[in-house]
Amino acid sequence: MSASPVWHPFTQHGLQEPIPLVTRAEGACLFTADGRRIIDAISSWWVTTHGHAHPRIRAAIADQAARLDQIIFAGWTHEPAETLAAGLRAIMPAELTRVFFSDSGSTSVEVALKMALGYWLHRGEPRHRILVLEHGYHGDTIGAMSVGSRGVFNRAYEPLLFDVETIPFPARGREQETLDALERACRSQAAAFIVEPLILGGGGMLIYSADTLAEMRRICLRHGVLFIADEVMTAWGRTGTLLACEQAEVVPDILCLSKGLTGGAVPLAVTMATEPVYASHYAQERSRMFFHSSSYTANPIACAAANANLAIWREEPVLDRIAALSRRQAERLTALSLHPTVINPRTLGTITALEIGRPGGYLSDLAPRLLAYFRKRDLLLRPLGSTVYVMPPYCISENDLDHIYEAIELACDLLRSGELNSERSLVALENVR
């Protein structure tokens, strides 16, 4: 048993894996109590965009904390939230007129689902069926799990989950099967279709085309099915544009944002909706109000951080940095793709991914060995089974990016030689630096 009382997420404490104590962070790096400098190659679970402890975001948090730290948001408001809502309206698609605040990506999805169901109820057409994309992942609360892929992540909670209709993933060469299935499902008065645009994160960094995304949106429009874009991971430049939906010229009815909304500094989420969705809840009857909130809805400190992030986007060449990082990532992946153990190398914007050896699920025996190896190489890389992906902050240096890919290449070499194939390798890797 661990001496610490902390129960960590997505961690099997019975494996007795070391848990480093991080004392500070700066730029693309974390620093531990034992003096190590760790390269954050996955942006601390996809959240850190401009870099850790960004001076503008850090200053905004400190300034706001000294003035207004927290206030109830039901029936009250404050300047950071009003400024943020206006700022989002200015850079997001014009059709998304309403901004609802919450606390995390998962809750932004819960809000989106409740908005969609409320929309149909208040129109007098109580549609209930939600369509989802195969292999999707939308979070770990009940509604978010319900619309995500079923499996090891949520098997214990099946009795709590509601039924959905799953549309097959549009794998290359099989896109028409997806579109035909969506067309059939939409004909029977579905309420909404929720997707991760262009790339599925937790499902294994699976990429599909902008043309397919655009056609899925057109099908939903033809049948009046609400289109929910979960851009919790994909927004804020991860796919090369501010929103992934931009690449397909798609505007959703409901948009979920979090993670990079504050530059990754503090938790905050928003769900943006079109005017018809908002109007369906607007009435003189209190029973038609939107029943959702949390104690920390639109926390002023978090909103101040998000406003600093928007200022960075307005005033600094963020898209140029993203384009440069995308090129650098693609170059390194191209070189790595020549390795005989690398399968399905792929890239989208600032994200690269590949399978090492034969593909394996999330509980692949290879995953803990890779995790141990990367940890000893002073890297925060967290493979999804046999899928290794790189999604660093936009400020990462050339040297640090080189170190990441050199470490991945060496992992491929170790797998090929058999040094990653046995339980003893976990012990042996303690000496690999």
Give the C-alpha separation, 409 to 412, whole Å.
5
HSE, CB side, 13 Å, CA atoms: give it for residue 426: 13
Distance of CA 354 to the CA centre of its chain: 18
pLDDT at 135: 95
If pLDDT is split at 50, 70 and 90, which confidence band does 433 have?
very low
Nearest to 56, CA basis, from 259, 315, 395, 305 = 305
pLDDT score of 94 more than 90: yes
Contact 302, 261 (CB under 8 A): no
Give the C-alpha separation, 85 to 99, whole Å.
6
Give the C-alpha separation, 372 to 422, whole Å.
13
Which two structure tokens, joined as six digits, stand for 19?
């848990």
Count of CB atoms within 10 A of residue 76's CB? 9
pLDDT at 429: 52
Please give the share of the chain, as a percent, with pLDDT higher than 70. 96
Nearest to 313, CA basis, from 120, 88, 105 = 88
Domains 55-315 and 317-431 equal at CATH topology level:
no
Q: Quick: pLDDT tens for 294-316.
A: 999 999 999 999 999 999 999 99
Which position has the token pair 């599925």? 200
Sequence-distant (6+) residues with CB within 8 A of 52 are 25, 26, 27, 28, 29, 30, 40, 44, 264, 393
Phi, psi of 10, rounded to the nearest 5 degrees: 45, 45
Which position has the token pair 């606390």? 103
Which two structure tokens, joined as six digits, stand for 382?
């967290």
CATH number of 55-315: 3.40.640.10
Q: Quick: pLDDT tens for 139-189.
A: 999 999 999 998 888 889 999 999 999 999 999 999 999 999 999 999 999
Task: State the average pLDDT over residues 180-205.
Answer: 96
3-state secondary structure of 194: strand
Task: Name the DSSP class of 359.
Answer: -
pLDDT score of 336 more than 50: yes
pLDDT score of 342 more than 60: yes
pLDDT at 154: 85
pLDDT at 427: 46
Contact 259, 236 (CB under 8 A): yes
Residues shown for the chain: 433
Give the C-alpha separation, 433 to 428, whole Å.
11
Q: Which CATH number fits domain 317-431: 3.40.720.10, 3.90.1150.10, 3.30.70.120, 3.30.1360.30?
A: 3.90.1150.10
pLDDT score of 416 more than 80: yes
Contact 120, 127 (CB under 8 A): yes
pLDDT at 417: 85
pLDDT score of 80 more than 50: yes
Domain ranges of the chain: 55-315, 317-431
3-state secondary structure of 155: helix
Strands 206-207 and 226-230: unpaired
69 vs 3, residue with greater confidence: 69
